[in-house]
Chains A and B, each alone.
Chain A
Amino acid sequence: MNNNRMKIGTIIAVLVVLSVLPFLLDSYLIHILNQIGIWVILTASLNLMVGYTGQLSFAHVGLFAVGAYTSAILTTSAGFSFWTSFPIAAIVAGVLGFIIGLPVLRFKTHFFAIVTLGFGEIIRLTIYNWRDLTGGPNGIYNIPFPTNILGLDFALREHFYYLILISAVLVVLFVKLLIGSRTGKAMIAIRENENFALFVGINTWKVKIFAFTLSAALAGFAGSLYASYNSYISPYSFTVSESVSILLMVIIGGMGTIIGPILGTTFLIFLPELLRSVSEWRMVIYGGLLVLTIMFMRDGILGLIKSFVRKKKHHSEKNLLSTGKEEAAIAGSERN
């Protein structure tokens, strides 16, 4: 109970700090935070599939692109405002996710991975080739900012910040509530043991298609924000490299946890900024980090912190606890 109260306290404190940041930081740092916020939505959506349902999807950057392009086309050519286009972008991406999911979710593990990768590439190549609609390799310019509401001017990064912050907080909260629900439990059961999940009465196929559709819609929503914030998109923003980057963000933070992907996203976007001299080595570092994470740190940063805390606790209670069990638990958390 006490622990819970502390958690809520921490969350409120973090939110308060986050909401006053635009008054404290310079515009460039706000820009980085905005990028982080958008990617947090995308990684939360991917985490739903990879971390909670246990399906390694490479289609998410494609669905992110679909959201971005839907929103961009609606706001530039069709004269929609951001406020009407973002729900449409989410729905279009969700419907496409559903359609892709129908055939794709029959496959498991590496087959699922490669088929989703295939669909992601099909989306990117379609965007690249459908010049009349998407501008092909040139992309779409001059995507308008959201029209002003509540006295906020979204042409200002500091004001856009609040839109992104609220969106990210709502999405993360939504994912958290979903995971705590009956459907969330079913998703985790599928990740843990798909065959056995059937025999505790879970309609695994229905749960998977639901998760995939929902996560596609969230990716589409992130795309819509991305297009409007950056006011320019092109097929080069949605490549396999981006797929690997978001996957790494989820994995390195700690997949299948709420905080993990947020940590991972923040870490990986800040890293090249902190080390300016190496920022152009970004993808080299990401690639290397992915290998190292898989080899040595499969539970991510969060897993590392947890096992560190547990070890500390273990030290202080050394005389009270039977050591064997505790060590087994720690070894287990590093996944054998």
Chain B
Amino acid sequence: MGDQIIQSILDGLVSGSIYGLMAIGFTLVFGIMHVINLAHGELYMLGAFTTFIMVGVYQINFFVAILAAMLIVGGLGFLIERYIFRPLRNTAMLNTLLASIGLSIFISNLVLKIAGTGMRSIPTPFSDKSFTIIGATISTHRLMVLLLTALLVAVLFWVIKFTKFGRSLRATSQDQDASALMGVNINLTYGLVFAISAGMAAMAGGLIGSLYVVDPTMGLGPGLKAFIIVILGGMGSVVGAIVGAFVMGYAETFTSLFWAASYQDLVGYILLILVLLLKPNGLFGGAKR
């Protein structure tokens, strides 16, 4: 049992960091643009498929493929912002929510029609070599996933804190009109934020697709979970998203360990309802309800 617990701690670390990638992107878009993008999970799925096609079919290097998937899906995100969310800006927030649900259903079913179901997995260059840490094993592969995630998050923090673009991001999230007056290009900023968010989701998809399977419906769960995590952590808070992601990751791994794997998906919703009842602004919520 002790070994299993340590193993679960490591598993939770991996799923928590993947959720983190998803949730940070989700919360960025919400915090800055006040858009709830329920198609976020579909961008993750597209990231996984893009990576799969490049590595599996065209035998491109795994890292190059992930990078390319981030760029391609990021570009798609930019277009989605431009042609769907921009026209809906300044209308009721529920409009963007509904449009994003429509988009999510559209994309997942379109891919389902074209690609069909069936088990696909992204081949990876990593050996099966595993490390043993205090009785639990972690494969090189998983270790790589952790490192890549940490690296991306670090880069993102650096961008937000120290670059000119990061400053304009923070300004825009505070006050759209004022930052427009200060010469921030709102349209470009929003487009880039959406692209970054989509790119992060694509990376999460690529990494997960190499660990597990690639499937057209794989985005639905993580997309909703990203929303739940963001509510758990407090809407718009990046730190909250990271903490929420690990809370979610661990809650699921331990449910599956102590109860049953099929109950795993319930955990997120129960957590969500508990947190909303006890602490309506989320764990780190300074944000508005």
- The answer, among A291, A293, A298, for a CB contact under 8 Å with B103, is A291
Q: Is A115 an interface residue (CB 8 A)?
A: yes
B 265-286 contacts with A by CB, 8 A: 265-266, 269-270, 272-273, 276-277, 280
Partner of A121, one of B102, B231, B265: B265
Interface positions, chain A 232-275, Cβ under 8 Å from B, are 240-241, 244, 247-248, 251
Asked if A295 and B88 sit within 8 Å, CB to CB, the answer is: yes
Binds A, one of B64-72, B92-100, B192-200, B250-258: B92-100
A85 and B119 CA atoms in complex are apart in Å by 42
- A-B contact number at CB 8 A: 111
In the complex, which range does the number of interface residues on chain A fall in?
35 or more
Give Cα A298 to B88, complex, Å: 11
The reply to whether A122 and B270 contact each other, CB–CB distance below 8 Å, is: yes
Stretch from A9-17, A165-173, A282-290 at the B interface: A282-290
Interface status of B153 (Cβ within 8 A of chain A): no
Judge whether B99 and A118 touch: CB under 8 Å. no
Q: Decide yes or no whether A103 CB sits under 8 A from chain B.
A: yes
Assembled-state Cα–Cα distance A143/B265 (Å): 29
A61 → B minimal CB distance (Å): 13
A111 CA / B93 CA spacing, docked (Å): 11
Bound-state CA distance A125–B104 (Å) is 21
* Complex interface: chain B residues within 8 A of A128 (CB): 262
> Considering the chains assembled together, what is the distance between the CA atoms of A283 and B276 in angstroms?
32
Q: Are A298 and B104 in contact (CB under 8 A)?
A: no
For residue B101, CB closer than 8 A to chain A, the reply is: yes
Interface 0/1 of A115-140, CB less than 8 Å to B = 10111011001101100000000000
Stretch from B6-14, B106-114, B174-182, B241-249 that touches the partner: B106-114
Tell whether B263 is near chain A: CB-to-CB under 8 Å.
yes
Closest A residue, CB atoms, query B87: A295
Say if the beta carbon of B213 comes within 8 Å of chain A. Answer: no
A284, A286, A294: the one contacting B99 at CB < 8 Å is A294
Q: When the two chains form their complex, are residues B98 and A290 in contact, meaning their CB atoms are under 8 A apart?
A: yes
Interface residues as binary, B205-249 with A (CB distance below 8 Å gives 1, 0 otherwise): 000000000000000100010011001000000000000000000
Most buried by B among A115, A118, A128: A118
Q: How far is the CA of A56 from the CA of B97 in the complex (A)?
A: 10
Q: Are the C-beta atoms of B273 and A118 separated by less than 8 Å?
A: yes
Contact of A110 among B36, B113, B263 (CB under 8 A): B36
> Which of B36, B98, B270 is packed against the most chain A CB atoms within 10 Å?
B98
CA distance A124 to B91 in the complex (A): 32
> Per a CB cutoff under 8 Å, which of A111, A121, A288 touches B289?
A111
Tell me whether B272 and A129 are in contact (CB under 8 A).
no
Specify which chain B residues have a CB less than 8 angstroms from the CB of A287 in the assembled complex.
102-110
Find chain A residues with CB under 8 A from B101 CB. Answer: 244, 247, 290
Q: Is B98's CB under 8 angstroms from A247's CB?
A: yes
Report the Cα distance A288→B224, complex, angstroms. 19
Partner of B106, one of A56, A118, A288: A288
CA distance A251 to B97 in the complex (A): 13
Q: Which residues of A contact B (CB under 8 A)?
A: 56, 103, 106-111, 113-115, 117-119, 121-122, 125-126, 128-129, 240-241, 244, 247-248, 251, 280-281, 283-284, 286-291, 293-295, 298, 335-336
Told that A109-B94, A291-B106, A295-B99 touch, could you supply 18 new A-B pairs with CB distance under 8 A?
Answer: A103-B273, A103-B276, A109-B92, A110-B36, A110-B94, A111-B276, A121-B266, A121-B269, A122-B269, A129-B260, A280-B113, A284-B105, A284-B110, A287-B107, A287-B108, A287-B109, A290-B98, A293-B102
